[in-house]
Copies of this chain bind each other. A is one copy, B any other.
Amino acid sequence: MKYFLFFLIIAHGSVFAQPPGKPPAEKFILAIHGGAGSIKKGQMSPETEKLYAAALEQALVAGYTILKNGGSALNAVEAAVKIMEDNPLFNAGKGAVFNNEGVIELDAAVMNGKTLEAGAVTGVTTIKNPVSAARAVMEKTAHVMLAGKGAEKFAAGAGLELVDPAYFFTETRWKNLQKAKEADSVERNQSPEIKSSEGKIGTVGAVALDRSGNLAAATSTGGMSNKKPGRVGDAPVIGAGTYANNSTCAISCTGWGEFYIRLVLAKTISDMMEFGKMSLEQAAGEMVLKRLPALGGDGGLVAIDVNGHCTMPFNTAGMFRGFIKADGKAVVKMYKDGD
Contact = CB atoms under 8 A, between A and B. Distances in A.
A139 to B, nearest CB: 8
B262 A193 contact: no
Contacts of A19: none
A65 B153 CA distance: 46
A272 B272 CA distance: 9
Interface string A29-62: 0000000000000000000000000000000000
Interface in A142-189: 142-151, 153-154
Interface string A106-150: 000000000011101011000000000000000111111111111
A60 to B, nearest CB: 28
Interface stretch (A205-213, A234-242, A305-313, A321-329): A234-242
Given A153-B229, A232-B145, A116 B258 contact: no
A120 B144 CA distance: 17
A143 B228 contact: yes
Query: Which of A120, A192, A271 gathers the greatest number of chain B CB atoms within 10 Å?
Result: A271
Majority SS at the chain A contact face: mixed
A289 interface: no
A240 to B, nearest CB: 7
Contacts of A117: 262
A274 B287 CA distance: 14
A230 interface: yes
Interface string A244-284: 00000000000001100111100110011011101000000
B267 A232 contact: no
A98 interface: no
A147 B118 contact: no
A295 interface: yes
A231 interface: yes
Nearest to A237: B237
A237 B264 CA distance: 10
A123 B147 contact: yes
Interface of A: 116-118, 120, 122-123, 139-151, 153-154, 192-194, 227-232, 237-240, 243, 257-258, 261-264, 267-268, 271-272, 274-276, 278, 295
8 closest A-B pairs by CB: A150-B230, A275-B276, A271-B271, A239-B264, A150-B229, A145-B232, A142-B194, A275-B275
12 contacts: A118-B262, A120-B232, A145-B232, A147-B231, A148-B148, A150-B230, A238-B240, A239-B239, A268-B271, A271-B271, A275-B276, A275-B278
